[in-house]
Amino acid sequence: MDLTDKLLAAIDKDHDAAVGRLVEWLRIPSISAQPDHAADCVRAAEWVRDQLVAIGFTASLRQTPKHPVVVAHHPGPKDAKAPHLLYYGHYDVQPPDPLELWTSPPFEPVVVDGPHGKRVVARGAVDDKGQTLMWIEAMRAWHGIAGGPPCAITAVIEGEEEIGSPNLAPFMAANAAELKADVAIISDTGMWDIDTPALSTRLRGMVFVQLDIKAANRDLHSGMYGGSALNPNNLITKILGDLHDAEGRVQLPGFYDGIPEVSPELRAQWQSLGFSEHDFLGAIGLSVPVGEKGRGALERLWARPTADINGIWGGYTGPGSKTVIPSEAHAKITFRLVPGQHHDKVFDAFKQFVNARLPADATATFQGGSASPGIEVPADSAFIRAAQSALADEYGKPAAMIGCGGSIPVVSSMKDVLGLDTVLMGFGLEDDQVHSPNEKFDMRCFHQGTRSHARLLARLAG
């Protein structure tokens, strides 16, 4: 039995204990957005620190202005020529609301049967405690079989990812020398399906804007003033209604400037995945796709930018009727960005778009929030090739090279602050209910993800 076989056998033997450790971590309600759970965030950080110490790492909690970051190091073998790896994860979770939709309490994990075997149901199961614990469990196997990982490892596990990681980039900048590595490895993405592993090489970025439009100095009686006074609700819906043309293209000036076309090879690879947009939409009760006409479904989801109104309000919204013309109206808008776009330019273009449509007596203010660029990871690096080999060995088929419509701001921070490319090797599934009630993680994904991480370390060690 060679070393890799011994590692995999150890992971298989320890699987039930690993699930028990996951359940223990999931019981800690480490909700970063809620001040009442600050102590729970510290407990969750201490828990994972202790796990790393138990398998040979030096690890400590580093305070930030909000929640602590866990930083851990393992030197690896003295004469190792393998790359230095930086693993990232997060211990914080989303609020579990609405509680009444959970089939079991969100912080009382249960292991139940599902279509693919056992699954654990709890807040944080897949995002990201379960996926973080996979690579820790892989290193536990390396510790038990070989005395430690085959290369130098640095681990960073933060507690603010679910609130936009406001303190992570400054922390990394202040500790850049300590965090120096050759590549970052993150498991916070998904597989193509339960049988097909995936590596994500594209991420969309995001710009958030809150638009506030004001007109009269008070709410008005719609009978006395209707037909004479400007209505901000009418105005904001008219302006935002102009965001897209009949072909589904966003109408901000210069919005598509600098966006490269997807290569024919990549487009063909995506088409070969057999994605059914009909089934994708049917699962959420829809049937007709929207977006840019003339673009394929996966291209629209992974490689094209979007504009969406996330919330809109103004005037009276309570039960029954109150006939007012409101003095102000508000909307929250997000733009999903792709490589080639810059978030500052998109924010400025939106302001230009709105201001060009404002009539006399109306004023607009713009509040910016989170912003991150679109990311494309080099798909032909030695690190990606090692991950492809590890996944092919585990699953018996090539990994799908996919995009991700969402944003993972830490990937851009790794590149901008530390100069690191990232291997995004995730094991979540489309039905994991991320950020929703009844979040789950299939134990088959957890187990094979752990095995895949053990294989990846062997591949990177040569």
Question: What confidence category does residue 136 fall into, taking pLDDT thresholds of 50, 70 and 90?
Answer: very high
pLDDT over threshold 80, residue 69: yes
Mean pLDDT on 176-192: 97
For residue 112, what are the contacts with CB-CB under 8 A and spacing of at least 6?
118, 119, 121
For residue 138, what are the contacts with CB-CB under 8 A and spacing of at least 6?
7, 11, 450, 451, 452, 453, 454, 456, 457
Per-residue pLDDT of 71-113, as tens digits, reads 999 999 988 788 999 999 999 999 999 999 999 999 999 999 9
Mean pLDDT on 47-56: 98
What pLDDT, on the 0 to 100 scale, is given for residue 409? 81
Identify the residue with better confidence: 455 or 404. Answer: 455
What pLDDT, on the 0 to 100 scale, is given for residue 378? 84
Q: Dihedral of CA 451/453/459/462: which sign?
A: negative
pLDDT over threshold 90, residue 348: yes
Per-residue pLDDT of 302-322, as tens digits, reads 999 999 999 999 999 999 999
pLDDT over threshold 90, residue 207: yes
Question: What confidence category does residue 458 fall into, taking pLDDT thresholds of 50, 70 and 90?
Answer: very high
Mean pLDDT on 373-398: 94
Give the chain's mean pLDDT: 96
Q: 100: which DSSP letter?
A: G
Bond prior to 128 in cis (omega within 30° of 0) = yes
What pLDDT, on the 0 to 100 scale, is given for residue 229? 98
Mean pLDDT on 6-21: 98
Question: What confidence category does residue 371 fall into, taking pLDDT thresholds of 50, 70 and 90?
Answer: confident
- Which pairing describes strands 183-186 and 85-90: parallel, antiparallel, or unpaired? parallel
Per-residue pLDDT of 217-267, as tens digits, reads 999 999 999 999 999 999 999 999 999 999 999 999 999 999 999 989 888
pLDDT over threshold 90, residue 407: no
What pLDDT, on the 0 to 100 scale, is given for residue 302? 95
Q: Which burial class, exposed, middle or buried, applies to 441 when counting CB atoms under 10 A from its CB (0-12, 13-18, 19+)? A: buried
The answer to whether the beta carbons of residues 119 and 441 sit under 8 Å apart is yes
- Domains of the chain and CATH, by start: 3-203+374-460 (3.40.630.10), 205-259+305-372 (3.30.70.360)
- Reference 453, options 91, 15, 149, 71; nearest CA is 149
Mean pLDDT on 426-440: 96
Q: 298: which DSSP letter?
A: H
Helix 129-146 vs helix 15-26: angle between axes, to the nearest 10 degrees? 140
Helix 443-460 vs helix 15-26: angle between axes, to the nearest 10 degrees? 110
What pLDDT, on the 0 to 100 scale, is given for residue 258? 95
pLDDT over threshold 80, residue 1: no
What pLDDT, on the 0 to 100 scale, is given for residue 292? 96
- For residues 157 and 127, what is the distance between their CA atoms, to the nearest angstrom? 13
Token pair belonging to 303:
């490689």
Per-residue pLDDT of 102-132, as tens digits, reads 999 999 999 999 999 999 999 999 999 999 9
Per-residue pLDDT of 262-304, as tens digits, reads 989 888 989 999 999 999 999 899 999 999 999 999 999 999 9
CA torsion 174→461→422→180, rounded to 10°?
10
* Alpha carbon distances (Å) from 199 to 117, 145, 184, 410: 24, 28, 14, 17
Token pair belonging to 104:
């079991």
Helix ranges, 89-220 (H): 129-146, 168-174
SS3 201: strand
- For residues 114 and 326, what is the distance between their CA atoms, to the nearest angstrom? 50
115 φ, ψ (degrees, to nearest 5): -60, -25
pTM over 0.75: yes
- Reference 456, options 396, 404, 399, 394; nearest CA is 394
Per-residue pLDDT of 22-50, as tens digits, reads 999 999 999 999 999 999 999 999 999 99
Lowest mean pLDDT among 239-248, 396-405, 435-444: 396-405
